[in-house]
Amino acid sequence: MDQREFSSCKACNEIFALVEQDKNLTAFHRAEDLKPCPFGSQGLCCKNCAMGPCRLSTKEGGTKRGVCGATAATIAARNFARMIAAGAASHSDHGRDIIKTFSMVASGEAEGSGYEIKDVNKLIAVAQDFGLSTEGKSSQDIAKELAPLLVAEFGQQEGELRFIRRAPEKRQALWRELGVVPRGVDREVVEIMHRTHMGVDQDAENILMHGTRAALADGWGGSMLATEVQDILFGTPIPLRGKVNLGVLRKDQVNIIVHGHDPLLSEMLVVAAQDPEMISQARAKGASGINLAGICCTANEILLRHGIPVAGNFLQQEMAILTGVVEIMVVDVQCVMQSLADLVQCYHTELITTSEKAKIPGVVHIQFDEHHALDIAKKIISRGIENFGKRNPNKIILPKEEMDLVAGFSHETINYMLGGTFRASYRPLNDNIINGRILGVAGVVGCSNPRVKHDHVTTTLVKELIKNNVLVVQTGCAAIACAKEGLLTPEAASLAGDGLAEVCEAVGMPPVLHCGSCVDNSRLLIAATAMVKEGGLGDDISDLPLAGCAPEWMSEKAIAIGQYFVGSGVFTVFGATFPIMGCEEVKELLFNKFEKITKGKWAFEPDPIKMAHLMIDHIKAKRAALGIEKKQERILYDMAMRRALEV
Ligand code: BF8
């Protein structure tokens, strides 16, 4: 394939135009060379015991059972559930690390480490959710009482997670009726691993119902805890301007890239990169300054809170090294390609791992320690400064592409943005949906995947949605894809349908709202709940004119997210590929039967325009069910009409 077909990102194409095609160069090239296994990709390969691996066939006369007798449905459901387990574990273990640091701050152990409580209001709100009285207590005292309760959520053996009570009452009742109210994520994930062990749960629906429970333990548990406590420690995002794409790297500065998911170290790198002493060290080496930029969700975290530029999304981690101007790439956990270790060998770039959970052979490891976070951040930046002079000028390919964006739409911000400072609420959003200016809301999230044209699927879909007056909320790498296309600017309202454009112009907001990293999909659950609670759009998340999708997904975390949205009553469409397509029975369960059970369901559609219209049709059906299918013209009431309203 022509390399230009790999991506619709202009910066990536600038690099492809200048590098030799080499089958090992990037994930794009390796994906061309390495075709997916036809059994595994359809969910039909079971390697859960040593009698196999067993590969079942969809073909007439092909193998229909594994050595133990397991059917395609059992195998596909087990594989799917294990993806949920891995995804939920990843988000939630990230959350646990954040809470470990919060506990340190609470106990006073963090003195001098650089961490503190930044959002006292959120601390109080979360403490109250946990039943603590906060009246007259200092934030330190509240944090001290709250910390052990937060830690206990992960390992809770019986009962219900606290944040479940944030969901609409009707949803909670349905979960209780179905027996899927989650306990601690540790327990739910362990139970998935048990159930999917050889010879345990062999009923596909039963396996997937437990998968739902574990996914809910992530969305309404581990991920939500991560988001809320990150906001407490680092501040709740508010809209700010930023820049995105490889053009944010600077030829005359020391470029430090943070990559991964955990903001604990990157928050301190933000502080260290602004330290006058570090800047003068950089100047002494001939650089004009220190330029911190991000890749993947760590990028989203520090973009949303500090406006730090984003160098790119998942498939741009290798591209960033290929620019030849990155002094250090510092990584923590998740979505870090092992190929980086080889790639940096050809450049002056130093790759540094920092988590004991995520080491790469042959790569420098500087262990992160919360107690000395700022010192470690400075040490890493000093190494970058030392590296600045080692660039090979012949290897520099620095694309000019960079784009402005607005990010930072937390649930709290949406409240103020649409409701105003004096009457913060979701009323104006609901009203604009009811009157038809906004058709509905779509969550467009997830990764980039070299099996499809990079960024193209996501951006084509989002343009079609906003053209049809669907307000788009985003997280993760999908948000970065749209940011690169300029869709996260207020000016993008010109691409929206008349109704959505009118609302965006009145408020000064983009038609596509960047709500954060992948763990921040929990913000979307809270926003959907706020819409229900505001009134006028039904009494459950499943009543809302709302749909979700991950057009270019690739990670197990995306499956966990998808399942907690489906389990929360949301119609959720995935593109690229779907891991159970070889099994009709599991397809029927996820694509149809789940709608009767959880009132949410999955769909698979790789074509972006068709995907957009599946979502739009769903939104229209929900509007019809609510009786708001027709756009209502604004009526100016005269006094007689007002009197008639009195009851
Ligand atoms: O957690 S969107 S590629 S970076 S998995 Fe990874 Fe996917 Fe990006 Fe963030 Ni989410």
What lies within 8 Å, CB to CB, of 336 at 6+ separation is 259, 260, 317, 358, 360
Query: Is residue 188 located within the same domain as residue 119?
Result: yes
Residues 125 and 79 in one domain: yes
Distances (CA, A) of 345 to 254, 351, 433, 499, 514: 19, 9, 53, 52, 35
Q: How far apart are CA 90 and CA 82, in angstroms?
A: 12
Q: Is the C-beta atom of 521 inside 6 A of ligand 1?
A: no
pLDDT class for 112, splitting at 50, 70, 90? Answer: confident
**Residue 67 located in a structural domain:** no
Q: Are 315 and 554 in contact (CB under 8 A)?
A: no
319-363 per-position pLDDT tens digit: 999 999 999 999 999 999 999 999 999 999 999 999 999 999 999
Asked if residue 267 belongs to a domain, the reply is: yes
Segment 238-293, tens digit of pLDDT: 999 999 999 999 999 999 999 999 999 999 999 999 999 999 999 999 999 999 99
Residues 116 and 177 in one domain: yes
In the DSSP assignment, the letter for residue 71 is: B
In a domain? residue 65: no
Q: Are 490 and 465 in contact (CB under 8 A)?
A: no
- Report yes or no: 440 and 512 within 8 Å, Cβ to Cβ: no
297 lines ligand 1 (CB under 6 A): yes
Domain count, the chain: 4
382 and 489 assigned to the same domain: no
Q: How far apart are CA 140 and CA 151, in angstroms?
A: 17
Q: Which of 223, 32, 13, 234 is nearest to 123 (CA)?
A: 234
* Residue 250 resides in a domain: yes
Q: Is residue 114 part of a domain?
A: yes
On whether both 424 and 573 belong to a single domain, the answer is yes
209 with 277, same domain: the answer is no
Please indicate, yes or no, whether residues 438 and 587 belong to a single structural domain of this protein: yes
Task: Give the tens place of pLDDT for each residue, 506-528.
Answer: 989 999 999 999 999 999 999 99
Please tell me the distance from the alpha carbon of residue 273 to that of residue 385, in angstroms, as a whole number.
11
Same-domain pairing of 348 and 438 = no
pLDDT at 4: 73
Q: Please tell me whether residues 589 and 443 are part of one structural domain.
A: yes
Q: Whose CA is nearest to atom 9 of ligand 1?
A: 297
Cα 557 to middle of ligand 1, angstroms? 8
Determine whether the shortest distance from the Cβ of 480 to ligand 1 is under 6 A. Answer: no
2-42 pLDDT, tens digit each? 777 899 999 999 999 888 777 789 999 999 999 999 999 99
Tens digits of residue pLDDT in 196-237: 999 999 999 999 999 999 999 999 999 999 999 999 999 999
Give residue 536 CA to ligand 1 midpoint distance, Å.
34
pLDDT exceeds 80 at position 104: yes
For the cut 90, the answer to whether the pLDDT of residue 587 exceeds it is: yes
The phi-psi region of residue 7 (left if phi > 0; otherwise alpha if psi is between -120 and 50; otherwise beta) is: beta
**310 in the same domain as 427:** no
Which atom of ligand 1 lies at the shortest distance from residue 519's CA?
1
pLDDT band at 641 (very low <50, low <70, confident <90, very high): low
Cα gap 470→262, rounded to integer Å: 31
Residue that finishes a domain, picked among 234, 259, 294: 234
Positions of E strands within 466-525: 470-474, 512-514
- With a cut of 80, say whether residue 422 has pLDDT above it: no
Interval between CA 257 and ligand 1 midpoint (Å): 16
Residue 345 belongs to domain spanning: 246-395
637 occurs within a structural domain: no
pLDDT, tens only, 527-578? 999 999 999 999 999 999 999 999 999 999 999 999 999 999 999 999 999 9
581 pLDDT tier (thresholds 50, 70, 90): very high
Indicate whether residue 481 lines ligand 1 (CB < 6 A).
Answer: no
Closest alpha carbon to 406 in 331, 478, 304 = 304
pLDDT band of residue 647 (cuts 50, 70, 90) is very low
What is the separation, in whole angstroms, between the first and last Cα of the chain? Answer: 69
382 with 443, same domain: the answer is: no
Residue 445 Cα: closest atom of ligand 1: 2
- What does the pLDDT read at residue 129? 97
Phi first, then psi: give them for residue 440, nearest 5 degrees.
180, -170
Question: Is there a single domain that holds both residue 545 and residue 596?
Answer: yes
Q: Which helix (H) or strand (E) holds 413?
A: helix 411-419
Please give the Cα distance from 628 to 275 (Å, whole number).
Answer: 55
Mean pLDDT, rounded, of the chain: 95
